[in-house]
């Protein structure tokens, strides 16, 4: 594949990822993203709090956390919060099936490309990273956390804006 074709595909993927970050959209087609695409989306979200949640369909704590993340997404405007879920399942089919049957997400869900786990040092899930309105990582923890904790943290970061 020619370099221009690769560049066009990468650009199209970044545009689709950025466009897909709207709380009103839900989809059953799950796109694969690499660490660079995730970094680009975070960098372009200046002025917003970004919550990046790594999860998998086979992970009970991850599945238990999703309804709380859905509720958090409802409480903040698109101009204040960007919430992204990235599945680290072994295959994209499990994610697509889960999304079509079990949960109606109100935030975009992506499938982790081969470099994502190593780049973000994912050793256990769920894992959530929070970036302030300036794009600085201010929270990076594995495990489930109550939605109220994230809600209060997001409010605090928005007040510091």
**Two tokens, residue 123:** 């050793």
Output the CA torsion sign for 68, 73, 75, 80.
positive
Distance CA 66, CA 39 (A): 22
Those residues whose C-beta lies under 8 Å from the C-beta of residue 118, and which sit 6 or more positions away, are none
How many Å is the Cα radius of gyration of the chain?
A: 15
Positions annotated as catalytic residues are 59, 62
DSSP secondary structure of 56-111: -TT-HHHHHHHHHHHHHHHHS-TTTEEEEEEE--SSHHHHHHHHHHT---SS-EEE
């Amino acid at each position: 594949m020619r370099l221009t074709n690769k560049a066009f595909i990468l650009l199209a993927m970044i545009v689709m990822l950025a466009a897909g970050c709207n709380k009103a959209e839900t989809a059953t087609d799950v796109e694969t993203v690499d660490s660079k695409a995730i970094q680009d989306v975070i960098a372009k979200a200046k002025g917003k709090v970004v919550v990046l949640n790594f999860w998998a369909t086979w992970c009970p704590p991850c599945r238990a956390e999703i309804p709380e993340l859905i509720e958090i997404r409802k409480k903040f405007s698109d101009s204040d919060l960007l919430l992204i879920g990235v599945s680290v399942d072994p295959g994209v089919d499990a994610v697509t099936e889960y999304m079509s049957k079990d949960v109606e997400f109100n935030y975009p869900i992506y499938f982790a490309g081969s470099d994502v786990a190593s780049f973000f040092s994912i050793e256990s899930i769920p894992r959530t990273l929070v970036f302030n309105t300036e794009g600085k990582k201010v929270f990076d923890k594995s495990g489930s956390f109550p939605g109220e904790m994230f809600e209060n943290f997001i409010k605090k970061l928005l007040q510091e804006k």
